[in-house]
Each structure stands twice: as C-alpha cells, then as structure tokens.
Amino acid sequence: MTGAEAQIERDLISKLQELKYEYRPDIQDRFGIERNFRTKFEELNRVRLSDSEFARLLEKIVTEDVFAAAKSLRERDTIERDDGTPLNFTLVNIRDWCKNSFEIVNQLRINTDNSHHRYDVILLINGIPVVQIELKAHSVSPRRAMQQIVEYKSQQGTGYSRTLLCFIQLFIVSNRNETWYFANNNEEHFSFNADERFLPIYQFAAEDNRKIGRLDEFADKFLAKCTLGQMISRYMVAVASEQKLLMMRPYQIYAVKAIVECIQQNIGNGYVWHTTGSGKTLTSFKASTLLKDNPDIEKCLFVVDRKDLDKQTREEFNRFQAGCVEENTNTEALVRRLLSDDYADKVIVTTIQKLGLALDGTNKRNYKARLQPLADKRIAFIFDECHRSQFGKNHDAIKEFFPRAQLFGFTGTPIFEKNARYEQVEGEQASLRTTETLFERSLHEYTITHAIEDQNVLRFHIDYYKAEGEKLSKPGEALKKEKVIETILAKHDAATAGRKFNAILATASINEAIEYWEKFKTVQAARAAADPEFRPLNIACVFSPPAEGNPDVRQLQEDLQQELEDNKVDPDAKKQALRAIIDDYNTQYGTNHRIAEFDQYYQDVQKRIKDQKWPNADFPHAKKIDVTIVVDMLLTGFDSKFLNTLYVDKNLKHHGLIQAFSRTNRVLNDSKPYGNILDFRSQQGSVEEAIALFSGESVDAPATIWLVDPAPKVIASLTDAVKRLDEFMVSQGLEARPDEVANLKGDAARGQFIELFKGVQRLKTQLDQYTDLEEEQRAEIAKTVPPETLQGFRSAYLETAQRLRAKQQRQDGEVAPEVDLLDFEFVLFASAVIDYDYIMGLIAKMTQAPAGKRTMNREQLIGLIQSDAKFIDEREDIAEYIRGLPADQPLNEVEIKAGYDAFKAEKKAAELTSIATAHGLEVSALQGFVDEIIRRRIFDGDALSDLMAPLGLGWKARTQKELALMEALTPLLHRLAEGREISGLSAYEQ
C-alpha cells in the first residue's frame, strides 16, 4: 500500500470512529476474526459454546455460496449442541440491525492454503465481515476496480470461500474523491463475460440526486451504523429464482422511504416520477413488501394494466421473492383474496380492469356489496404507469369506495397541463387532469436527465431525414414509403452496428403498417434479384387484430388507441392481412402461430427482439428480427438491450414521443453508445418541446444532456484524440505507425498507448453508428483515421492488451500500477459484421480469385482477423491456417471450413498429447476431460481430481500438479471456447 493510500485509510478509520464504530487493530488474521465472532455470537444468542460446538457452527455457516450466506445472515438457523439439543440462533440482530455491534478492522491478512491476501478495510456487524473497502491513491476506472475484486475473489481457495469473509455483502472502492459500491454475488453473477456486460456499480446520491463521491461524505451518508444496517437488511434484494443479490439504487430507496413514510404518517397520496428504464418494478416490490409488515394497512394492491403486464409484473415480483404474489386468474379470485385474512394475501398484484369490475355496482356477481367490509379499512394502492387509459374512470370509484385508501402512482412520463388529455368536471368548471391533480404531490423524482447523467440509460442520436439536395419536409408530413424503405436499407447496418442490434419502425396506422410490410417484401426481393451480395433485412410486423368479442384483445387495445380506432374500419381486411403476416413469420422462423392465439405470436416477437444475442455463432441471424413494424405496440413498456434504433414515420408528441424514443436507450456496453432515432416526419420542434417538458427541473440546455454531440463536434474530438496518440508515439522516439507499437519500451508506455487508442476507437465507434454523416464528413473521418491505419492500430492494441492482461492476472506482486489499473474494453474492438462465417467466406473468395484480381491478399486478410477482438484467442490459429493453404487451389466455403476444423483438431490433438506426456497423463483421459469442459462450458474441480487419481499422489503434491496442469491447459481451453466464458476456470488463471 502506498503512502497516499495509507493516509486515506487512516482518515477513513478516523471518520468511522466518529460514527461510533469500534476500531479493532488487534484483529489481524483469520483466527482473530473467528475469536471475535465467537464472542459476539455468544453475547447475541446468550450462550457459551464449546470448541466442538463452535467448530460445528463454522462448518455449517461458512460456504462458497454467496447467496446461501446472504440468506443465512438474515434468517434464524439451528445447530446441534454437544448434548444433542438444538440451538436456535441468528448471526446478527435481525429484528433491529441498529442494535448490533459495528467494528472496523484493517490490513487483515487471511491465510488459506492458496491465498495470502491482505484486505484494506473491513466492516464487521456483530463480528461478521459484511463490507470490504478497497482504497486507491489515484484515479481508477470503476469497472477496472470492480474487475480487480472479481479477479481477486475468484482465485482458488481464497478467504471469500473458506472463511467468514463469505458473508461479505458489499464491496466499496474509493480514491477519496470518487466512491463506488456494488453487491457481492456468486461467480455466474459476478464476472465479466466476452461482451463486457458489467455488474451494476453505483455511486451514492442525495435525495435531489446529487452524487456523493467524496469518501468522508459517503461515510456520513451511507456508512452510518443504522443506515448501513438498513442498506443491507432492507434495500438489498435476494432474487431467489436467480440466486442473486441486487442492491437498490439511491433513487429507488428514497421513493420507497417516501411511500412508507406517507403510510406511517397517514398524510395522503403521492406519485413517483422515475423515468422509463429506471427499475420501478423493484421499487414497487420493495415498497409493497415493507408495507406487508405494517399492521395499520389492511391490504396493499399493486395495480397494473393489461393482461401481459399483470403476468409480467407478477413474475417479476416472484422473481424477487418466490411465491410472494399469487396469480389472480379472474375478478372472483381478486375479491376472494381481498376478503381473505391470510397473511399471504396481504399483497396482491392485479389489473385495473379487474379492480374496476370489482367496484362496479351493476355487476351481476355483486362484487361491490361483498367488498363492503373493506370500505372503512386503510388500503394502499400502488399504480404502475398510473396514466393508462383505464385509470381515469377508475380513480374516482376507488376513492369513493375506499375513503381511507392511500393511492401512489409510478410514472416515467407525468401528465402536466401541457400534455393533459383527461378533464374532470366539477360543477360547471372543467380542468385538466394532471398527475398532480390525481395524486396530490410528487414524492420523488428521477428524470431521464438524471438517468442519462448517471449512465443508467443512454443519450439519443436523432437524424431528421432530409433527401439529398432537398429541404426538410414540413413537420408531420409523410414521405413516400419507397423512399423510407430505401433509406432504412441504406442506413440500417450503420445504425445497428452491422445488425448487432435491432430496430422498430413506428407507423401511423394499421393500414400503413400493412403497406410497409408488403413493400419491404417487394423492394427486398427486387434488390436480391439484382444483387447477389444483398443481405435482406428480417422484417416482422405486429398490430392487434379486430377484437370481435375477444376479451383479451379488447383489454390489450385499451392502451392502443390508434389500433382500436383502425380496427373499426374494414376489420376483415386487417384480419386477412395479419393472417398473411403471421403465416410469413411462421415460414421465416419455423413457428406455428395463429391469429386466434395472437398473444402467443406477440410474445414470440418480443422474445426474439430481446434475445438478439451476438455473435451469430450463439444465435443465427436467420432467427433474429432486424426491423419490427408497429403502430402502437412495443412503443411503451417494452425493454430490450438489443433494440437500439427507432425509425419514426408517425407523428409523436410529449409523453408518447419520450416513451417511444426510450425503447432504444437501454444500456448494454460500449458497442451501444446511444439510442438511434431516424425521424421521417421532421419533428424537431416536437422533440425540443418534449425534452423541455420532461427534463424535470431547471436545467440549462437540457438537449445537451439528452442528445449526443453533433457529428462535427465528435469528428473534432476524434481529430484531437488521434493527434494525442501521434504526439505520444513521437515522444517515445517512434513514428506514429501501427508497426511501431511493438517497439514501445516498458509497460507504462504500453499502458498509455492502450488508453490513448481506446479513446480513438470509442469515438470511431460512436461515429460509425451516426446515420446523418455527409460525404465530406466521411472523407474527413477517413483522412483522420485511414482504414488501413485504424486496422493496424486495432491489431497492435489487441496484441498489447493480451500481453498486459496476462501480466494483470499474475499474482506475484510484480505488476506495475499503470498496468494493474488498465481497463481494456475488448468489446470496442469486435465487429458484428466480421464473424466466423464471414471470415471463412473471405478465405474461400481469396483462393478462388486469380492472383492478379484478388481484392485481399493473405496478409491483408490476416490483418483483418487480428484487428477484431472476437478472434483474440484464435487469431494465431486462423493466421497459421491461411498461410498454410496451398497456392492456386480454389476452395469453396464448405471446404475451407472443413479444412480449418481438421487443422484445429490436429493442432488440438498434438497440443493435448504434448501436455498429457509432460504431466504423465493418459491422452484419452485428458481428451475426455477437455471435451466435457468445452461441451458444458463449466470447469469441474471433481473431474480434475478424478483425472489426477491414477497418479497416486498425496494431496500436497496433487495440488501442485493440478496447478501446473491447468497453467498449461488454460490457454488451450480459452481457444477452444472461442470467446465464450467457462464458468469456474478463472480460479486457475495466472
């Protein structure tokens, strides 16, 4: 630890002592932790344990399973005493976490068979280590800080799996000025996969969403004893179905607290304005479950709209806590559960339609009269998306029947006077029905402005279509559909990063959607006939059918106003068109949907958009949807990280515009820098109005927060980034050329190159997805970073990164800080277009073309492969294969693939034989061991023990032999896995 880090540590300990933590410098190792825990355990449970009883206790509670440890921390348990009687116990005071003891230990060394780690600061609650704080002396990427802990924790035999450190709930990383925190989890939820989808990492914030980054202020606000106890006991959620711990975000916590406080003080209603994509289901779940334990509340109803949302929300609630919400199949079941005294029926998820029927005095089942015993009870109603179409007419009925009810609404897009639709008439006075008039006051706000600044959602890039040489069309004016389709076909690959993502085309009516679907088929068929290289887009189309008395469709259409109206005119023609659309879909995707079961078709479309999956090796492109044509559907409440583009050929305003745009801005990784909007209706004025309306506070120039920088500004930034890279190379006595990167001296210089070129690539990735670049701008970008130069630097980056990453993973203490803190972001260097099939096709074309007519020679093709992170573990094999192909022997793609498979099999067999011989193993046994790992993508420690058993070694010699074998085998396993993660392998990576 450096002197600066040591000073930060001393200051933090002093701050925590001010917060009444007890500093325990006497606890320095595993035995000190266990002695202290034993004392605290005996005091809490009012018992004296014998040594054998304490050993049994440790054996029972210490586990490698983080989720099991988290449950054990929060629940009562039992061990058997020496005399055979049971001892019921808790590890901490779970009834009142504030009454536990809170202690600090620092520079703790936990020695296990394979680990000699030292931990900066650990916070103990009742002797249990629950928070680990790692301190840095200088700026460090939060992702890299988290990755360090992931690597540290995954090493074999560490204190995290063999000691009381298994109870760590939270990790905190700080360099004094910036502080981040994240939840502990099992490996499947606590690792970095090939696409770099990172765990949620948080910065704490005040109620006004101001970030609290300084470590001393963070300690005051987050680490105060009772606050930390609440964070762990109340605001962490154990997701039973996924065996995963979730940490609530600060704004979610403040909203829950506000609702609970309203109930406790009985001070009326309120609404929570949390923007689309901010996780309001988790917020409402936590509010509901906390209200479940409030004796003043008779029932808590979480009210949603539409059948699919009812099912979706119930499944989400039960995902957070298995069986906490039962299914309401009909209104009768809702009424029965409302009248039930069973504690399990205290929280109910239902639809507003069923609630409306229950309160309808004219209903023949007489529900309203049966519910009369509840009329004077205190009931809490929490409304999801509280401005659904049915809400207006049911609001008054609820208030009238339940005069003591308290109503809470969640909305991502509130209704203000400017965008209000409903009117309420009081006498002769009419007024606009806004969110505030319905719910009285705002309880907490977390707007899209906050979410963008927190990087919880993405900004938008908006391309207002303008035909070349023409003026912008008038606002709201429609273009010819052929022109729109032609533009989509020209821009789609750029907008979606080579079809890595997918898009929605929003149309103005059902007839328009049908016409688009038909014209896409015609235009693409003509293109394919004229150009064998043309790759058609996979087009789907979804709109609701005529209801014709179907209650499910009728319910669905209550929020689909345009579709509801459209289906009143010539419904048979629309039904016939939808039938043809579904038949075409069945042919394309091998499904068997029918219009009579429309919901199953609709769900399949949604799932296919969500399950985009990349690369195509995991999920073939033929199974994906590129563009989904819609009218109203999917434009609200639908989330997919792989949806990044919205084509707009309908007029949008206010909350409808924001809801539609927000389909595109879910965070994935650095390959998705923003949500893409291509507007064919010249709606810039409506966009600016919506941004101003929903910024939520007095923000200067909110568009600069919501929208990405225009192309000229990003190009200027790219020019500056390239200049900085060039100046750095020159400062190292080298020319600014890719081949000179190998001549950089020292890891500090290589690390600087990594950071500088990563900046270049990030800006280039951003510009690659701009759909509004003019030819002059494209030329300027190509001049700034010529494609050949960029490819060469990408290859040099990957080579250098691979070398430095190997050093990061060493555990001998020789890693320079400049290397240790590097965050490589390989996903920036992986092209969606260049996949395995694409490369095999290029190799085939190369062999078939006459020598003088080849567009790409062998070395150029190898350079292309070596510049793509997708092939980082296979690049040398492909290069060796290409160089070994016979000259002037044309081969087709099938032959190329078969040849490459045979080449890899031979190389794998030779490598396995060499490893088996070196380690005294049977080749066939090692082959079977490796094949099983690759098949399951899971490393099995027991299988490794079985493999070693014939050697007849003692445990110590066997352990050393296993480590030596895995050191030799791990690189081969990575190559065979082709970029896919092998669960459990990281424990052996050096």
What do you get for the CA distance between the two ends of the chain, in Å? 22
Per-residue pLDDT averaged across 674-700, rounded? Answer: 86
Is residue 304 predicted with pLDDT exceeding 90? Answer: no
The predicted pLDDT at position 193 comes to 57
- Tokens representing 770? 């701009």
Mean pLDDT, the chain, as a whole number?
86
- Read off the pLDDT of each residue in 779-807 and give the average, rounded to a whole number: 90
- Contacts of residue 465, Cβ cutoff 8 Å, sequence gap at least 6: 473, 479, 487, 678, 679, 680, 682
What are the backbone dihedrals phi and psi of residue 634, each rounded to the nearest 5 degrees, phi first?
Answer: 70, -5
Residue range 297-318: mean pLDDT, rounded: 70
Task: Give the pLDDT confidence of 246-274 residue by residue, as tens digits.
Answer: 899 999 999 999 999 999 999 989 999 99
CB neighbour list of residue 353: distance below 8 Å, 6 or more residues apart: 305, 390, 555, 558
Strand 423-426 with 429-432, pairing: antiparallel
CB atoms inside a 10 Å sphere around CB 129? 25
Which of 646, 694, 682 minimizes the C-alpha distance to 666?
646
Burial of 732 (0-12, 13-18, 19+ CB in 10 A): middle
Report pLDDT for 252: 95
Torsion angle, alpha carbons of 954, 956, 962, 964, to 10: -120
Please classify residue 551 by burial: count the beta carbons closer than 10 Å to its beta carbon, then call 0-12 exposed, 13-18 middle and 19+ buried: exposed
Most confident of 502-506, 823-827, 927-931: 502-506
Name the most confidently modeled range: 106-115, 335-344, 551-560: 335-344
pLDDT tens readout for residues 347-367: 888 877 788 888 888 878 889
pLDDT beyond 70 at 982: yes
Instruction: Give the pLDDT confidence score for residue 309 in this predicted structure.
Output: 52
For the chain, how many residues are written?
990
Count of CB atoms situated within 10 Å of the CB of 92: 24
Answer for the pair 657, 624: CB distance below 8 angstroms, yes or no.
no
Q: What is the pTM of this model?
A: 0.82
Q: What is the pLDDT of residue 828?
A: 76
| Separation between Cα atoms, residue 749 and residue 800, nearest integer Å | 11
List the one residue out of 490, 514, 502, 488 whose CA is nearest residue 627: 502
CA angle, 201 then 202 then 207, to 5°: 165
Return the pLDDT at 630: 97
Going by C-beta distance under 8 Å and a sequence separation of 6 or more, which residues neighbour residue 384?
Answer: 280, 281, 284, 302, 303, 304, 305, 309, 313, 410
Q: Which residue has the tokens 């409306």?
A: 356
Residue 490: the pLDDT is: 94
Section 560-574 average pLDDT: 91
Report the alpha-carbon distance of residue 439 to residue 430 in Å, rounded: 18
Is residue 653 within 8 A of residue 510, CB to CB? The reply is no
Q: Tell me: pLDDT of 696 over 80.
A: no
- Provide the 3-class DSSP secondary structure of residue 589: helix
pLDDT for residue 172: 95
Greater confidence, 278 or 35? 35
Q: State yes or no: pLDDT of 119 exceeds 60.
A: yes
Strands 244-247 and 236-239: antiparallel
**What is the mean predicted confidence (pLDDT) over 643-668?**
93
DSSP 471: P
Give the pLDDT confidence score for residue 427 in this predicted structure: 47
What pLDDT, on a 0 to 100 scale, did the predictor assign at position 860? 81
Three-state secondary structure readout of 535-570:
CCCCEEEECCCCCCCCHHHHHHHCCCHHHHHHCCCC
pLDDT given at position 352: 78
How sure is the predictor about 612, in pLDDT bands with cuts at 50, 70 and 90? confident
Q: Are 883 and 936 in contact (CB under 8 A)?
A: no
pLDDT at 623 over 80: yes
φ and ψ of 94, to 5 deg: -80, -15
DSSP, residue by residue, 639-690? --TTEEEEEEES---HHHHHHHHGGG-B---TT--SEEEEESS--HHHHHHH
Residue 113 confidence (pLDDT): 53
Predicted confidence at residue 698, as pLDDT, reads 59
Distance separating alpha carbons of residues 387 and 260, to the nearest angstrom: 22
Highest mean pLDDT among 9-23, 190-204, 384-398: 9-23
Asked if the peptide bond before residue 142 counts as cis, ω within 30 degrees of 0, the response is: no
State the pLDDT at residue 852: 65
pLDDT digits (tens, 9 = 90+) for 500-515: 999 999 999 999 999 9
Query: CA separation (Å) from 813 to 807, 841, 964?
Result: 10, 45, 19
**Mean pLDDT in residue range 271-299:** 85
Tens digit of each residue's pLDDT (9 = 90 or more) over 155-182: 665 778 889 999 999 999 998 999 999 9
What does the pLDDT read at residue 973?
A: 85
Provide mean pLDDT across the span 734-749.
93
Residue matched to tokens 């960029």? 790
DSSP 929-982: HHHHHHHHTB--HHHHHHHHGGG---HHHHHHHHHHHHHHHHHHHHHHHTT---
